[in-house]
């Protein structure tokens, strides 16, 4: 028997004033999974969350929770807990009253009283002894914990988090995202998290969905999203990247030309000479345009000053010129120029590189994408 997904979207489309926000989005989120929607502002990730919650109605498609179509089911009856971006705490209520407000539609789980459930959650979220405080007396991080406790109070089947850390400083965000992940794992609750922060999405998720212009670009584990981007958008949006356009010039052996200009006539000439071609697996058609994706940490600065592109075995090397260097504490970000193109390198060298350098990378560390 095929297991039922805890949350599923089946070809869901949503539009506002005839402007599409989501177009034929299909997702399956498993029980106990920490699933993150990531993308730029206006891409449709919050609309997706609101559609699951019941605050938006799809123009077409189905939303299922626990295998049941929830069309027409109001938000308060969908058994979901929601933490909004601005927390939406009631300023005239104490912490304890705010958390208890989450139980207005459902009784506490496991036969507990409201007081017992509130005390349990405040202890779980390291807020013990703060129940009589008012929201204005709390830090941003503490307010976020109260909002999370309120959402968890009725024991929801699904937890929805809409950019809950966006108003906090970077250091506090890093701490609290760990807290959220630990609580999610302890409670084993299906969680759908919305963020525009790619590093946040990669750090805490079981799987990530990258969204652009209302379309799903890629869904997969964080490692696959980062190391094997499926589209140029994913390669550009998730983390730093070097994208080099090229043309397939040979399929036996498979090779791609990265010569500046990218003309097919030049590429054909390069295939028979010693130009800037590199080996690549999985190409089947010559003259096909592709994009080479190389992460900055996959490029190394080597001592040997030689330049070799197109060797049949071993790493590829090329000569580049250092333009600028950024010291990041644990590494240098080195901006280089190679044949009129910018290359970004991340290195833990003891001293900042300068002048002409030799860059090296393993062709297997590169990903090839269809050119736009």
- Domain borders along the chain are 7-237, 242-370
Q: Rounded to an integer, what distance in angstroms lies between the CA atom of residue 33 and that of residue 226?
A: 19
Residue 306: closest CA among 294, 317, 320, 295: 317
pLDDT at 259 over 80: no
Which regions of 72-133 does DSSP assign to beta strands (E)? 80-83
Q: What is the mean pLDDT of the chain?
A: 87
Asked if pLDDT for residue 277 goes beyond 80, the answer is no
Say if strands 80-83 and 242-251 run parallel, antiparallel, or are unpaired.
unpaired
**What pLDDT is attached to residue 266?**
36
Stretch 139-164: mean pLDDT: 93
Distance CA 277, CA 288 (A): 14
Q: Is the pLDDT of residue 45 over 90?
A: yes
The DSSP-derived string for 219-254 is: EE-HHHHHHS-SSHHHHHHSS--EEEEEEEEEETTE
- Let me know the angle formed at the C-alpha of 47 by 190 and 165, rounded to the nearest 5 degrees: 60
pLDDT exceeds 50 at position 29: yes
* pLDDT for res 289: 84
Rounded-to-integer distance, Cα 81 and Cα 153, Å: 8
Identify the helix (H) or strand (E) that includes residue 99.
helix 95-101
H or E segment and range at residue 117? helix 114-124
Closest CA to 194 of 35, 28, 366, 81: 35
Residue 94 in this model has a pLDDT that exceeds 50: yes
pLDDT confidence band for 2 (50 / 70 / 90): very low
Q: How far apart are the first and last CA of the chain?
A: 41
Confidence at residue 260, expressed as pLDDT on a 0 to 100 scale: 55
User: Which CATH number describes the domain made up of 242-370?
Assistant: 2.40.50.140
Q: Which pLDDT belongs to residue 359?
A: 93
Mean local confidence (pLDDT), 245-252: 83
3-state helix, strand, coil in the chain (%, to 5): 25, 35, 40
Lowest mean pLDDT across 238-247, 267-276, 277-286: 267-276
DSSP string, 44-67: SHHHHHHHHHTSS--SEEEEEETT
Angle at the Cα of 87 from the Cα atoms of 82 and 91, rounded to 5 degrees: 125
Q: Which one has a higher pLDDT value, 105 or 145?
A: 145
User: Which pLDDT score is estimated for 282?
Assistant: 66
What's the mean pLDDT in 179-202? 94
C-alpha distances in angstroms, 169 versus 143, 165, 239, 256, 290?
14, 8, 20, 44, 39
- Write the DSSP string, 141-191: HHHHHHHHHHHHTT--SEEEEESTTTTS-HHHHHHHHHHHHHHHHHHT-EE
Q: Angle CA(354)–CA(360)–CA(362) in degrees, nearest 5?
A: 155
Residue 103 per-residue DSSP state: T
For residues 128 and 16, give the distance between their C-alpha atoms in angstroms, rounded to a whole number: 43
Average pLDDT over residues 322-326: 96
% of the chain beyond a pLDDT of 70: 90
> What CATH number was assigned to the domain covering residues 7-237?
3.40.50.300
Average pLDDT over residues 12-35: 96
Q: What's the predicted TM-score (pTM) here?
A: 0.87
Confidence check: pLDDT of 315 > 70: yes
CA-based nearest residue to 290, from 335, 336, 251: 251
Give the pLDDT confidence score for residue 246 in this predicted structure.
85
| Whether the domain at 7-237 and the domain at 242-370 fall into the same CATH topology | no
């Amino acid at each position: 028997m095929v297991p039922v997904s805890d949350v599923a979207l089946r070809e869901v489309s949503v539009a506002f004033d005839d402007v599409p926000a989501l177009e034929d989005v299909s997702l399956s989120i498993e029980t106990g999974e920490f699933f993150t929607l990531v993308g730029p502002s206006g891409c449709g990730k919050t609309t997706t969350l609101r559609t699951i919650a019941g605050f938006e109605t799809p123009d077409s498609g189905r939303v299922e929770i626990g295998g049941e179509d929830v069309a027409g089911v109001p938000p308060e009856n969908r058994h979901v807990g929601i933490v909004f971006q601005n927390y939406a705490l009631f300023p005239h209520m104490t912490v304890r009253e705010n958390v208890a407000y989450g139980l207005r539609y459902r009784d506490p789980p496991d036969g507990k009283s409201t007081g017992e459930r509130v005390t349990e959650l405040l202890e779980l979220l390291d807020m013990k002894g703060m129940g009589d405080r008012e929201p204005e007396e709390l830090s941003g991080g503490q307010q976020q914990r109260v909002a999370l406790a309120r959402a968890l109070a009725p024991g929801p089947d699904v937890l929805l988090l809409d950019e809950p850390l966006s108003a906090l400083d970077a250091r506090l965000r890093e701490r609290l995202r760990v807290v959220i992940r630990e609580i999610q794992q302890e409670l084993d609750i299906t969680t759908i998290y919305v963020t525009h922060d790619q590093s946040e999405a990669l750090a805490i998720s079981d799987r990530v969905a990258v969204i652009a212009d209302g379309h799903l670009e890629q869904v997969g584990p964080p490692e696959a999203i980062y190391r094997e981007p499926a589209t140029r958008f994913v390669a550009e949006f998730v983390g730093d990247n070097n994208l080099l356009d090229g043309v397939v010039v040979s399929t036996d052996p498979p090779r791609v030309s990265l010569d500046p200009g990218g003309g097919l006539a030049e590429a054909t000439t390069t295939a028979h000479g010693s130009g800037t071609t590199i080996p690549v697996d999985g190409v089947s058609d010559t003259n096909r345009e592709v994009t080479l994706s190389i992460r900055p940490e996959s490029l190394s600065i080597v001592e040997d000053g030689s330049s070799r592109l197109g060797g049949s075995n071993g790493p590829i090397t090329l000569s580049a010129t250092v333009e600028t260097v950024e010291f990041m504490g644990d590494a240098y970000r080195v901006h280089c120029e190679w044949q009129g193109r910018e290359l970004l390198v991340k290195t833990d060298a003891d001293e900042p590189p300068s002048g002409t350098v030799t860059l090296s990378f393993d062709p297997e560390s590169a990903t090839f994408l269809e050119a736009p």
